[in-house]
């Protein structure tokens, strides 16, 4: 197979192999790694429709990770998609109100981040061996709620790694926080920061580009890598489930081969919908990519105007994983519509870093016709949860409800009747209070775990193991710091101070 190399979105430096891009996480110039070209699916959709999730994963990922042997890649896939998931299907589809909900929350931490973060540690350790890396890999990540726990669960106890997670102390749900601060494992470290997710993410990026810290770490036998969605090792596994979803609809006679479908994705950091865009460019018959935002509608405004502007009030919503004003993965799309021009992209990213905004040209905007941007208010999100529950007994979480709301608006505006897959990115059990309040305000007075049990009855679904295990779990991590103290905290954990 022809080797696929990866280049930076911000410079014309020499491209690197997939394993090198996974290890680095972020390019030295601050850019993100993108494939030199998007490969085309080389197995028919009909043939893929007869394969399991693991088999589909191999057929998609082999095209992107060309320096992995078949044995290495299949080994990573086998170890990732095992009994950690509560269904052999890995990502089942549920039909409700005429749409197909792609349930991406059946992994260890009941959110879609498990789909990629269950395989990333194996890709990373394999990459380290392939590149003769002797240092311990220190995973440094910022989370708006779900990435943190999924990364912790993936890397806990993995030899040759340590993981440090920063999260906004008052910007995640109680269940999300409990999941993180009860994480076991001597190689894990969780820190709340007195700021929002963008503060945490900016701080992590600064640490990655700190050359003095890099030297200190190297001398002590450490090197940074990233588990955030900017890592290409996160993005490639996400492409798989869109291909899988289409082929399940094909297998079930819901779609004819080659018939198009729409995809709706609740979006904060843009990685999940970018994966769908990559799947489309591989030849998957996707028509519209419907980008759903909450009240932090920076992406909605971008698709409407061509101007990306983070200079606005940061809103804390009931869908906290989307409470983001800097959508890091959008850079990969900007680079592409800029004609793969690293200088042009770097100038736009410098404007974002400096003035907090940039504007794309009309020629670039014309290339975004595959996308439709929409947003849902808090009231609309809650109303959608209640409506779908009352209509068919199906309970969705707040992020999925943002997507479902935007899909209804899209249909009303366009009368588009194509079959549509909605990415259901988290279990309702992860956001029980918001979900139960949406169904009936009487639940507001209830205790968190009483709500969990009531939700189980209402939805006729067992309480996930991820929730059961934190009911009585002791707090292991209670560190809180200001955003300016992040470097000192990292040095303390690595005993560099």
Give the active site residues.
Answer: 113
Residue 132: how many other CB atoms lie within 10 Å = 6
Q: Are 291 and 373 spatial neighbours (Cβ–Cβ below 8 Å)?
A: yes
- At which residue do the structure tokens 């200088």 appear? 343
Residues in Cβ contact with 367 at an 8 Å cutoff, skipping those fewer than 6 apart: 336, 337
Rg (CA), the chain: 21
Other beta carbons within 10 Å of 366: 11
Nearest alpha carbon to residue 320 among 195, 479, 143:
143
Contact status, residue 225 vs residue 138, Cβ threshold 8 Å: yes
Q: At what angle do helices 53-64 and 70-80 cross, to 10 degrees?
A: 140
Asked if 142 and 208 count as a contact pair (C-beta separation under 8 A), the reply is no
**Pick from 148, 142, 253, 254: which is nearest to 198 by CA?**
142
Q: What is the spatial distance between Cα 352 and Cα 298, in angstroms, rounded to a whole number?
A: 13
Alpha helices by DSSP H, 98-231: 113-117, 120-130, 146-155, 174-181, 197-208, 211-219
What are residue 242's phi and psi, to 5 degrees?
-75, -40
Which residue carries 């865009």 as its tokens? 277
146 with 109: CB under 8 angstroms?
yes
Rounded CA separation 119/54 (Å): 11
Name the residue with tokens 């169904």: 439
Measured between alpha carbons, how far is 481 from 314 in angstroms, rounded to an integer? 20
Cβ burial of 421 (10 Å; 0-12, 13-18, 19+) is buried
Distance CA 342, CA 348 (A): 10
Alpha carbon distance 170, 151 (integer Å): 20
């Amino acid at each position: 197979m022809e080797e696929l190399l990866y280049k930076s979105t911000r410079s014309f430096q020499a491209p690197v192999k997939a394993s090198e891009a996974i290890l680095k996480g972020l390019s030295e110039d601050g850019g993100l790694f993108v494939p030199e070209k998007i490969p085309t699916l080389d197995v028919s959709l009909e043939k893929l429709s007869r394969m399991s999730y693991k088999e589909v994963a191999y057929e998609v990922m082999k095209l992107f990770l060309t320096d992995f042997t078949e044995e290495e890649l299949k080994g990573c896939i086998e170890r990732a998609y095992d009994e950690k998931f509560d269904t052999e299907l890995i990502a089942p589809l549920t039909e409700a109100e005429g749409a197909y909900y792609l349930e991406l929350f059946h992994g260890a931490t009941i959110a879609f981040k498990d789909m990629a973060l269950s395989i990333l540690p194996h890709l990373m350790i394999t990459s380290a061996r392939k590149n003769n890396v002797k240092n311990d890999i220190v995973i440094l990540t910022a989370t708006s709620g779900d990435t943190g726990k999924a990364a912790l669960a993936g890397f806990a106890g993995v030899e040759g790694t340590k993981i440090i997670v920063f999260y906004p102390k008052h910007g995640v749900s109680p269940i999300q926080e409990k999941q993180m601060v009860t994480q076991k494992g001597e190689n894990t470290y969780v820190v709340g920061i007195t700021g929002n997710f963008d503060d945490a993410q900016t701080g992590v990026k600064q640490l990655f580009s700190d050359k003095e810290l890099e030297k200190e770490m190297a001398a002590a036998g450490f090197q940074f890598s990233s588990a955030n969605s900017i890592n290409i090792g996160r993005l490639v596994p996400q492409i798989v489930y869109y291909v899988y979803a289409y082929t399940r609809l094909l297998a079930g006679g819901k779609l004819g081969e080659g018939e198009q479908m729409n995809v709706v994705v609740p979006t904060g950091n843009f990685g999940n919908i970018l994966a769908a865009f990559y799947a489309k460019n591989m030849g998957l018959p996707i028509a519209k990519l419907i980008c759903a935002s909450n009240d932090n509608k920076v992406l909605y405004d971008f698709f409407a105007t061509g101007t990306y502007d983070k200079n606005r009030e940061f809103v804390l919503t009931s869908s906290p994983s989307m409470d983001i004003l800097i959508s890091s993965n959008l850079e990969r799309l900007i680079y592409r519509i800029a004609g793969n021009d690293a200088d042009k992209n770097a100038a736009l990213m410098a404007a974002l870093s400096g003035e907090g905004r940039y504007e794309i040209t009309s020629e670039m905007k014309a290339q975004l016709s595959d996308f439709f941007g929409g947003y849902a208010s808090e009231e609309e999100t809650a109303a959608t949860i209640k409506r779908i529950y009352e209509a068919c007994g199906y309970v969705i979480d707040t992020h999925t409800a943002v997507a479902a709301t935007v899909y209804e608006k899209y249909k009303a505006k366009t009368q588009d009747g194509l079959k549509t897959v909605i990415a259901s990115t988290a279990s309702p059990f992860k956001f029980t209070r918001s979900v139960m309040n949406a169904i009936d305000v009487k639940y507001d007075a209830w205790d968190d775990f009483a709500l969990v049990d009531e939700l189980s009855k209402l939805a006729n679904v067992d309480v996930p193991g991820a929730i059961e295990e934190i009911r009585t779990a002791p707090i292991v991590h209670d560190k809180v710091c200001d955003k300016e103290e992040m470097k000192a905290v990292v040095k303390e954990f690595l005993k560099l101070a």
